[in-house]
């Protein structure tokens, strides 16, 4: 039976956050004048590659047409994407977004709640609560990639440089530092809207940040929330906050849809602040889980490691705070402090991270093998390093038939990680991709169909031959990969 989440009231959480700050080294309050000179540039992939998908695709999220509704091995999306190739791919709950090398955005998959940002020929009728500001003709399909044009800036003048996607929304950041979103957010009672209460948007709309916030440089999407990092090192959140994932509203306010302030308190981007004295931190990267958020302060532990703050759902230790308390305000993720982190990713109940030395760590719920440490491994309060042994050398309970069918990580140095709901992925420096965890939707790309994997095994497939994987992203029932030629950057 699922375990009930351990909660404390918002006053206790606020007191805990203040106590943690009092124990931390005192820092002067940071001022953020307009035009802050410090520019924070997260490292984005610039190598153009091919897009491949696998898993379940009954709503078009594989992009392979309406006759290919599932794939157990990666298949190339060959129709609808530009010849210039793509530099980023993101999997939402039931849709996919691809960023072309020239700054254009292409989407495919379920558009029931406008997550594609474009009209489709097979879209269902919608009521008056849907804001279709574009008035575009119904062209395109959910099952094939098509361009998101109306609402985004001309890519020749202000190309998109980064994407993120959640269950029913997509976000895009442009080179000039503007952030656009489309689709909607949801809570446990249904649609709450995107930027306005109760309204979805079928075309991209620009999100307004404070004038002194700096440029938007990165977005991260949870199931129904967005985190925005700016060039001034500031972090803003908006969307659903029921599990604490906004990091700035109390449990009572979040559960009552903003309370007296209404939904605008949730849907209007507002800044993360560390304590009641409104002291700010300077962040240089952000990540999102389904119901959690993470932000990094570079060199935050005596200058020799990173300080990672986390907030949101924590019923299986997935925040790395060492306890089971949901956090509605930023808390120190002690399990992720003291190392240099390249990337964090969080699923529904677990978190996976890769450090600067290429090691992969995981904490949280272990069911279905999502921690990669064997069939009998349960919850992990500590961020444990995945064993470096190959699959064949792993313990007998470490994977069953599914894990034994593929090649293990071995001594490879990893450069990226990703999570789906209950599965995990990593990309090695040599271009190999690995997966483990729940395989019920064919999303692992190795082993017997629908089998779980309790240890990492290599994602395989004929259409990956001769390619090196650049990035991987996990959705609700599908996975999308970006891969380039193994010997050169040509397509």
Q: Looking at the domain assignment, is residue 5 inside a domain?
A: no
353 contacts 383 by C-beta, under 8 angstroms: yes
Domain count, the chain: 1
Q: Looking at the domain assignment, is residue 4 inside a domain?
A: no
d(CA 320, CA 227): 19
Q: What was the pLDDT predicted at 301?
A: 57
Q: What was the pLDDT predicted at 11?
A: 41
Neighbouring C-beta atoms of residue 487, cutoff 10 Å:
8
75 contacts 64 by C-beta, under 8 angstroms: yes
Average pLDDT over residues 287-304: 83
Q: Looking at the domain assignment, is residue 401 inside a domain?
A: no
Q: Looking at the domain assignment, is residue 2 inside a domain?
A: no
Nearest by Cα to 415 from 436, 396, 430: 430
Q: Looking at the domain assignment, is residue 18 inside a domain?
A: no
Q: How confident is the model at residue 29 (pLDDT cuts 50, 70, 90)?
A: very low
Q: Which residue has the higher pLDDT, 316 or 128?
A: 316
d(CA 239, CA 71): 32
Q: Using one digit for the tens of pLDDT, what is the confidence trace for 171-215?
A: 999 999 999 999 999 999 999 999 999 999 999 999 999 999 999
Q: How confident is the model at residue 390 (pLDDT cuts 50, 70, 90)?
A: very low
CA dist list (Å): 227 to 269, 319, 447, 488 = 9, 16, 36, 35
CA dist list (Å): 115 to 51, 204, 475 = 19, 10, 13
CA angle 406, 411, 414 (to 5 degrees): 85
Residues 378, 384, 387, 388: what is their CA dihedral angle, to the nearest 10 degrees? 160
334 contacts 320 by C-beta, under 8 angstroms: yes
Residue 465, Cβ density class (10 Å: 0-12 exposed, 13-18 middle, ≥19 buried): exposed
Q: What was the pLDDT predicted at 167?
A: 98
Structural element, H or E, at residue 54: strand 50-56
Question: Does residue 397 surpass a pLDDT of 80?
Answer: no
Q: List CB contacts of 70: < 8 A, sequence separation 6 or more.
A: 55, 56, 57, 58, 62, 442
96 contacts 61 by C-beta, under 8 angstroms: yes
Domain with 188 in it: 39-121+138-391+406-485
Chain mean pLDDT for the chain: 85
Q: How confident is the model at residue 127 (pLDDT cuts 50, 70, 90)?
A: very low
Residue 17, Cβ density class (10 Å: 0-12 exposed, 13-18 middle, ≥19 buried): buried
Average pLDDT over residues 375-400: 66
Q: Measured between alpha carbons, how far apart are the two ends of the chain, in Å? A: 49
Q: How confident is the model at residue 133 (pLDDT cuts 50, 70, 90)?
A: very low
d(CA 292, CA 309): 11
CA dist list (Å): 419 to 241, 345, 351, 360 = 21, 6, 7, 12
Q: Looking at the domain assignment, is residue 34 inside a domain?
A: no
d(CA 202, CA 218): 22
287 contacts 245 by C-beta, under 8 angstroms: no
Q: Looking at the domain assignment, is residue 7 inside a domain?
A: no
Assigned token pair, 344? 């964090």
The domain that contains 61 carries what CATH number? 2.130.10.30
d(CA 87, CA 73): 21
Q: Looking at the domain assignment, is residue 273 inside a domain?
A: yes
Q: What was the pLDDT predicted at 306?
A: 83
Reported pTM: 0.86
């Amino acid at each position: 039976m699922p375990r009930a989440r351990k909660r404390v009231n918002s006053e206790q959480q606020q007191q805990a956050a203040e106590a943690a700050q009092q124990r931390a080294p005192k820092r002067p309050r940071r001022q953020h004048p307009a035009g802050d000179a410090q520019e924070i540039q997260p490292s984005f992939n610039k190598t153009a590659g091919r897009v491949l998908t696998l898993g379940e695709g009954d709503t078009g999220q594989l992009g392979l047409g309406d006759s290919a509704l599932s794939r157990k091995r990666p298949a190339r999306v060959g129709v609808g994407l530009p010849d210039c190739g793509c530099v980023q791919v993101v999997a939402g709950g039931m849709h996919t977004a691809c960023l072309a090398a020239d700054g254009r955005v292409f989407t495919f998959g379920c558009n029931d709640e406008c997550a594609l940002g474009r009209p489709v020929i097979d879209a269902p009728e919608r009521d008056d609560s849907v804001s279709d500001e574009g008035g575009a003709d119904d062209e395109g399909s959910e099952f094939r990639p098509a361009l998101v044009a109306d609402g985004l800036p001309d890519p020749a003048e202000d190309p998109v440089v980064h994407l993120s996607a959640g269950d029913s929304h997509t976000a895009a950041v442009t080179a000039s530092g503007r952030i656009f979103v489309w689709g909607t957010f949801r809570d446990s009672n249904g649609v709450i809207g995107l930027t306005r209460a109760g309204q979805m948007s079928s075309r991209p709309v620009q999100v307004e940040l404070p004038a002194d916030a700096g440029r938007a440089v990165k977005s991260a999407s949870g199931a129904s929330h967005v985190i925005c990092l700016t060039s001034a090192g500031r972090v803003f959140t908006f969307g659903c906050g029921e599990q604490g994932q906004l990091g700035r509203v109390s449990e009572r306010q979040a559960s009552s849809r903003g309370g007296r302030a209404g939904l605008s308190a949730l849907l209007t981007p507002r800044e993360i602040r560390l304590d009641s004295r409104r002291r700010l931190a300077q962040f240089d990267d952000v990540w999102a889980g389904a119901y959690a958020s993470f932000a990094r302060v570079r060199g935050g532990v005596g200058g020799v490691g990173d300080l990672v703050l986390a907030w949101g759902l924590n019923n299986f230790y997935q925040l790395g705070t060492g306890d089971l308390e949901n956090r509605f305000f930023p808390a120190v993720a002690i399990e992720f402090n003291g190392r240099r982190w390249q990337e964090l990713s969080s699923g529904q109940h677990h978190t996976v991270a890769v450090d600067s030395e290429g090691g992969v760590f995981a904490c949280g719920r272990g069911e279905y093998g999502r921690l990669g440490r064997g069939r009998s491994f349960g919850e992990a309060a500590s961020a444990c390093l995945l064993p470096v042994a190959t699959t064949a050398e792993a313990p007998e309970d470490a994977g069953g038939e599914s894990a034994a069918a593929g090649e293990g990580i071995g001594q490879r140095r990893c450069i990226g990680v990703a999570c789906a709901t209950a599965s995990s992925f990593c990309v090695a420096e040599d271009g190999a991709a690995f997966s483990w965890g729940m395989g019920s939707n064919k999303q692992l790309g190795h082993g017997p169909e629908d089998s779980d994997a309790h240890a990492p095994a290599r994602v395989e497939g004929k259409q990956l031959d001769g390619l090196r994987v650049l990035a991987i992203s996990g959705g609700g029932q599908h996975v999308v990969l970006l891969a380039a030629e193994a010997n050169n950057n040509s397509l």
